[in-house]
Structure 1
Amino acid sequence: VDYGATVLKLRVGGKYRRDAVLRHLVDLQYQRNDQDLARAKFRVRGDTLEFRPASEERIVRVEFFGDEVERITEIDPLTGELLAERKDINVYPATHYVTPTDKLKAAVVDIEAEMEERVGQLEAEGRDLEGARLRQRTTFDMEMLREVGFCSGVENYSRHLSRREAGSRPWTLLDYFPPDFLMVVDESHMTIPQVVGMYKNDRTRKEILVDFGFRLPSALDNRPLTFEEFEDHFSQVVYMSATPGPYETERADRVAEQFIRPTGVVDPTITVRPTAGQIDDLLAEIRATVERGERALVTTLTKKMAEDLADYLSELGIKVQWLHSEVDTLERIEILRDLRLGVYDVLVGINLLREGLDLPEVTLVAILDADKEGFLRSGGSLIQVIGRAARNIGGRVIMYADRVTDSMRKAMDETDRRREKQVAYNVEHGITPETIIKEIRSIHESLRRVAEERAELQVAGKEPAELAAMTGRLEAQMKEAARNLEFERAAALRDEILQLRRLREELAAAPGSIPAEVYAAAVGDDRGSRSGREGASQVFSVQTRPNVIAAGSRRRPPKRRRP
């Protein structure tokens, strides 16, 4: 309700004092900037107000004639082109932390009262340092709230700002759903424990901040839902998992098992071998697998074991790479793609070779130290790892262990049960199993498609000064996208910047408007020549980290060795 009450509504022909509109924008956490009109910024030039909504890419221009709104238009921020005429517009707050003035003033009074009470408690306990720290921080925050309506960490005062009772649960998106909504929990064996841990982890961290005077006790009410509160929203729930946990199993009214594959591929066979000489045995299995043109996955228990084993296999001439949490997301995708392409024959990992990996070329999955009970060798974890070999008709799993643990037995029994049903189904319906055929896509191709989805650059007839201005605007957008962790968009913007620079070089060599063939060659679209496209394809290169490779290169960064 409070959020909706703050919306600024403008319509053509309406009477508004311009200064009142500007003040309203400031109250909505918009900032004035006459140079760079980024999101949540506005500028004023005479009777013309321009602002960029926080949630949109277009610029809105409002033209006044005295106190009357004469015209409302939408402008392209890159080209300045008129996109649309508007009869009215609603301007929403730039942040969710917007509170009406009356509630803000009342909240400040309550916060200061809580501060005095808490500081008194700390001083009574002889903790003057914590009391002084809390008073200084809270006093500064209240001054910011009075002056600008916002402060860093304002969410920690949300209980007072939303006028909630102490200990009451916060409002969430789930409160806006209808009573009978359907909730689908994917990979529920991982998701449910994470929801349980959200509140507990948040509580533990904030109790430390409160205890040492960094936050008021009311900050504890800025929290996720407890799992019990989360459950209160349940009406219809579908849990999806290859290894459902006890929570889902106990509460499920009906269980639907979907382990019959359209290709007829059955779950892999499992062999248990002793740990004595396991590396030599693994090496022989890997070489036999590679000779058949197939791939292998090896799982270990620690990062060091994964790196050391990969180094050892590499020294013996095996094309191998390791994969664990220290490898960034984009590089993981490239490593997995390289495995499918044959750049590597073996991938050594820990906990990433589980849910979601679909690698039809893999026929061997080796699990080292399978008898070491724990999170990485639980029944569910083993079933997930075993499933990585279930995309190829020749899939098989080798567990290296000196004893068969309860988790191993559970995983083997469940795999055998599924395999029996799959084989029986294939026999009954005359299905001949076939290995999954899956296209191998490049992450760079995905980035290229994102770039192509953007509107074609409007550069025909532009002069060098105009191209320079366009380049500057694109650079600002690229930096903003990078700050927001929108890396694909940032990469697409970077490519456009490089295209514009090439066009400026062409103009410098031959003044005048840009010929169509030059534009096509620089952009590398379907209208350009083959050489033009090849030239443009070499533009893509990531320089953010020294171990990330330019597009088209097949070398991987050297493996890190521990001293």
Structure 2
Amino acid sequence: MTRPISDLQRTVAPFQVVSDFQPAGDQPAAIADIAARIRAGESNVVLLGATGTGKSATTAWLVEELQRPALVMAPNKTLAAQLATEFRELLPNNAVEYFVSYYDYYQPEAYVPTTDTYIEKDSSINEEVERLRHSATNSLLTRRDVLVVASVSCIYGLGTPQEYIDRMVRLRVGDDIERNMLLRRLVDIQYTRNDISFERGTFRVRGDVVEIFPVYETNPVRIEMFGDTIERLSLLHHVTGEVLRDELEMYIFPASHYVAGPERMAKAIAGIEIELEERVGEFEKRGQLLEAQRLRMRTTYDLEMMQQMGSCAGIENYSRHIDDREPGTPPNCLIDYFPEDFLLVIDESHVTVPQIGAMYEGDASRKRTLVDHGFRLPAAMDNRPLKFEEFQELIPQ
């Protein structure tokens, strides 16, 4: 599969391990052997080693040798955080990112037919982990020296990378852009104006100065304008507001991975309306009037929110229409943000690989009940993790 984002102009900096130690013992032979086998086109290579034998360091030296972006999958958040810390120490000059589920607490939407109990989705989002997720996709789209440590969360549906790039706001010193047009574009990509409480995902305006706090950054940016011309771009300290450095060019990526332009959103809404009428017709034909009424009421509310606000609660359940995918086709996920030649490393594979296979079935059985009882359109079934076979197809080596 050819990824259009593989043609992106990414900053190319070499992977460089910084360590007081050099490969020792079995490590030099292992690095040379694995590198040779990968260059020869082998798709699966196993690195065996007991705990504490330096497999993480060996992986870092291997990535340095091959100079290819890498995805390291771990079986849980704790191990992923530990690996990310180790790789950041070994690769301090490269982008080592952390991509796991951003929920501190998560109760998925569900329906229990036997007791007629509907359980609404309830969750608590960890803002720092959400920032790190956005930081990972931002790094993948702007540079090549990226190593992402992720949990199996990375096979869950994510917005399409092409739309994410297309909605990006590019700023360059000397460019002309009307201030109100800039503000509208920021609102279109899910940023909120807040002149009082300045936090991630918001922007504020003071005369000819616009300050934006990108969701993936630890510091905000300032745009100083003279009329309709961008005069200065600066990175600010998030507490003191002190200028840390000036930039000639900046990219502001969307505040959500699920963003769509007006044309794509209009097409998605039309598709959802057609599916709604078909599904309501099916329920009415079977005499399931309660389910028909429930589905019409819930979906109509979501459609109104999408038309007015460009988003709605649970918009990911309509991702198939927004991405313009056929029913049953795999969703976009973090793997689609990587260039085609990336390297996959699976840690604790005896635990992680079975997790990958189990994710789809557990998700599908819960959603099937919601769809059968009129809580969701059938399109919600396509907001899902990858099936194991789909995952295998996306992995080069």
AA partner of residue 19 (structure 1): N
Question: How is 1:511-526 mapped onto 2 (pairs within 5 angstroms)?
Answer: none
AA partner of residue 180 (structure 2): D
Q: 1:153 aligns with which of 284, 291, 314?
A: 314
Which residue number corresponds to residue 120 of structure 2?
A: none
Give the stretch that moved more between structures: 24-33 or 68-77. 68-77
The Cα offsets for residues 255-304 of structure 1, whole Å up to 9 and x where unpaired, read as xxxxxxxxxxxxxxxxxxxxxxxxxxxxxxxxxxxxxxxxxxxxxxxxxx
More strand by share: 2
Structure 2 gaps of 5+ residues are: 1-161
In structure 2, relative to structure 1, the CA distance for the partners of 1:33 and 1:133 (3 Å cut) is same
Q: CA deviation at 1:172?
A: 2.6
Q: SS of 2:195's equivalent? A: coil
The Cα offsets for residues 142-183 of structure 1, whole Å up to 9 and x where unpaired, read as 111111111111111111111111111112333455666543
Q: SS of 1:232's equivalent? A: helix
Which residue number corresponds to residue 205 of structure 1?
A: 366
Q: SS of 2:294's equivalent? A: helix
For residues 308 and 392 of structure 2, what CA distance do their matches in structure 1 show? 40
Greater RCO, CA 8 A, separation 6+: 2
Residue 19 in 1 paired to residue 180 in 2? yes
Q: CA deviation at 1:16?
A: 0.8
In structure 2, relative to structure 1, the CA distance for the partners of 1:230 and 1:54 (3 Å cut) is same
How many percent identity over aligned positions?
50
AA partner of residue 106 (structure 1): K
In structure 2, relative to structure 1, the CA distance for the partners of 1:89 and 1:117 (3 Å cut) is same
Q: 1:112 aligns with which of 260, 266, 273?
A: 273
Which residue number corresponds to residue 158 of structure 2?
A: none
Residue 61 in 1 paired to residue 222 in 2? yes
The Cα offsets for residues 230-268 of structure 1, whole Å up to 9 and x where unpaired, read as 2224554xxxxxxxxxxxxxxxxxxxxxxxxxxxxxxxx
For residues 226 and 148 of structure 1, what CA distance do their matches in structure 2 show? 32
Which residue number corresponds to residue 47 of structure 2?
A: none
Residue 10 in 1 paired to residue 171 in 2? yes
Q: CA deviation at 1:204?
A: 0.3
| Number of matched pairs | 236
In structure 2, relative to structure 1, the CA distance for the partners of 1:71 and 1:233 (3 Å cut) is closer
Q: SS of 1:168's equivalent? A: coil
Q: CA deviation at 1:102?
A: 0.5
In structure 2, relative to structure 1, the CA distance for the partners of 1:192 and 1:148 (3 Å cut) is same
Q: CA deviation at 1:207?
A: 0.2
For residues 339 and 307 of structure 2, what CA distance do their matches in structure 1 show? 37
**Root-mean-square deviation (Å):** 1.6
In structure 2, relative to structure 1, the CA distance for the partners of 1:130 and 1:233 (3 Å cut) is same
Which residue number corresponds to residue 310 of structure 1?
A: none
Could you state the TM-score of these two structures normalised by the residue count of structure 1?
0.41
Which residue number corresponds to residue 331 of structure 2?
A: 170
AA partner of residue 324 (structure 2): R
Could you state the TM-score of these two structures normalised by the residue count of structure 2?
0.57
In structure 2, relative to structure 1, the CA distance for the partners of 1:13 and 1:174 (3 Å cut) is closer
Q: CA deviation at 1:19?
A: 0.4
Q: 1:86 aligns with which of 247, 263, 286?
A: 247
AA partner of residue 118 (structure 1): R
Which residue number corresponds to residue 73 of structure 1?
A: 234
The Cα offsets for residues 492-524 of structure 1, whole Å up to 9 and x where unpaired, read as xxxxxxxxxxxxxxxxxxxxxxxxxxxxxxxxx
AA partner of residue 168 (structure 2): V
Q: 1:44 aligns with which of 184, 200, 205?
A: 205
Structure 1 gaps of 5+ residues are: 237-563
Q: 1:195 aligns with which of 346, 356, 359?
A: 356
Which residue number corresponds to residue 414 of structure 1?
A: none
